[in-house]
Amino acid sequence: MSSLDLNRLFRQIFDRFTIKMLKREDDEQADDEYEKKIGQFRYNFQAVPIGAGTFGKVFKGRDTLNNDAPVAIKVISSDTLKKYKSSEELFLREINILTALKGPHIIELIKVLKSGSGNIYIITKFCNGGSLRDLLKQEKTLSEFRAIKILRQLAQAFVDIEKLDLRDDEGEKLTIMHRDIKPDNILFHNGEPLIADFGFAKTLVDSMKERRDMHTLLGTPDYMAPQILDERKYSYRCDVWSMGIVVYEMLVGQRPWHVSTDYMLLQNILSKPLKFPETNLISEEVQGLLKQMLEIEDDKRLNWKEVLAHPAIIMNKKFEIEQAERGKVKTEGGLEEQLPKS
């Protein structure tokens, strides 16, 4: 992408969301020894980051104009921007995508600031429940109901994105390919899962989303579809594969194929069929769903709407409704607890 195109993209982001340019004297002035001031936001720059995005660290901060409400501040330093000059399009693309995405299971963008020193700050909603990665470290595995409910909610999020009527400059309807779905990028807020970190996301013309094409090879290898690992053409169904790996990990406690190199990972995927350990009681319906989500051939793999229409998902939703009508749900320990009243 040329510098002219990049400037045009940045201009579009300004027009659509207004990235506030801070005056240099207002940039990162510390209220105390450890706290930085970014416009109306503050954060402790020496604190342990709560996460690491594609190109920057994420800190917990506070919004001084909103009763010190907690926020997440992704810091993309000017040094990082210079180091990855060729990836500048990705920085701008993430901001552009986040400004357009809305939904109960999509991370909420609050504001984007660019400092006088050249740093970019992406301010998003703070998620109080940590990441799915954190949860799996604590609990090792999740119940089938809980894992499939998370899948159902996130699959619905991607279907809802298709309903947002996003359009490009030519008026073509767009959809989103995330390309980096993994436990680290699934966050929880008040118990609800949200998709985060759209740093590798790409917009696709909706009518062309099923077509396999050569896209940039991005993502986390352990969760990459075999087409990406093999540097072949792939479609938006690569996200379904990634989510299938995540669901398997939630249920079993490890990924179905786990080796030390990308090459061996691809070879194992191609040569070793998907297996479920006998010690984990996974229903036939869920096993069938995962086999279809982890179908090696891209065009034979389920899409998001087909995931939602699968009997395992329908049964999960039906069970939740039945339990809600009774006013109770099953907890991870098998006990019953009252559903909170809305």
**In terms of pLDDT, which residue wins out, 236 or 59?**
59
For 119-173, the pLDDT digits (tens) are: 888 899 999 999 999 999 999 999 999 999 999 999 999 999 888 777 776 777 7
Q: Per the confidence metrics, is the pTM higher than 0.85?
A: no
For 40-95, the pLDDT digits (tens) are: 999 998 899 998 765 788 999 999 999 999 999 989 888 887 777 666 666 666 57
d(CA 329, CA 339): 6
Quote the pLDDT of residue 82.
Answer: 79
300 pLDDT higher than 80: yes
Strands of the chain (E only): list them: 20-21, 27-30, 35-38, 41-44, 51-52, 57-63, 69-76, 109-114, 120-125, 166-167, 173-177, 186-189, 192-195, 202-205, 328-330, 336-338
Mean pLDDT of 298-303: 95
| Surface-to-core class of residue 299, CB atoms within 10 Å of its CB (0-12 exposed, 13-18 middle, 19+ buried) | exposed
Quote the pLDDT of residue 236.
Answer: 86
Catalytic residue numbers? 180
230 pLDDT higher than 80: yes
203 pLDDT higher than 80: no
